[in-house]
Amino acid sequence: MNIPGQITAGDSASWDDTDIVFAGKRYTSAGASLKYCLRGPSALDLPATANGLGWTTSLAAATSSTLQAGQYTWVAVLTLSIAGRATVASGTLTVLPDLTAQAAGYDKRTQAEKALADAKAALANLTSSGQKRKKYTVGIRSAEYYTAKELLDAISYWTSIVANERAQESIRNGFGDPRNALVRFE
């Protein structure tokens, strides 16, 4: 299936699929219709149109602008003229936000990147303030601070999550896993 792995909300997209071989049978647009169903932060069904023996699926800019940014799961469904329907493929699709529609101050970072930055800022604040107490109370107000060890554990956790996100992004963009060490023998 030729659905792109990433689109930007508000952009148009189009892709062609040739005949489909599924469960040992060959299906063409002459005997089946094709539809993509996207599910995630929003839901969208995209019917394909016949194009020779294959299909063309088009996503109009006005339609994609209604999609919320995020990770989507898609399925490709054939509706057969004789025997019902068959789900022939599935995968994931990332919808990126339309930056032209974002207000000033838009923050593109993932939740993990924000949490990592917050944990690092908390550790820097703890270190610079020389905080010696974990908890204190003054009158009816009290405050409790994370220890340096707790903050370092949080930083370690969020660093690994961010590294995994970046590796997945690199793989999606066709650059491979940056964590792989490649060796050449001559």
Burial class (CB in 10 A: 0-12, 13-18, 19+), 170: middle
Contact 38, 44 (CB under 8 A): yes
* Confidence (pTM): 0.61
Could you read off the pLDDT tens digit of each residue along the chain, which spans 186 residues? Answer: 889 989 999 999 999 999 888 888 888 998 899 999 999 999 999 999 999 999 999 999 999 999 998 899 999 999 987 778 889 999 999 998 888 877 777 787 888 999 999 999 888 887 776 665 566 678 888 777 778 888 899 999 999 999 998 888 888 778 888 888 878 888
Residue partners of 62: CB distance under 8 A and separation at least 6:
none
Rounded to whole angstroms, the Cα distance separating 76 from 88 reads: 6
Compute and round to an integer the Cα radius of gyration of the chain: 24
Contact 120, 112 (CB under 8 A): no
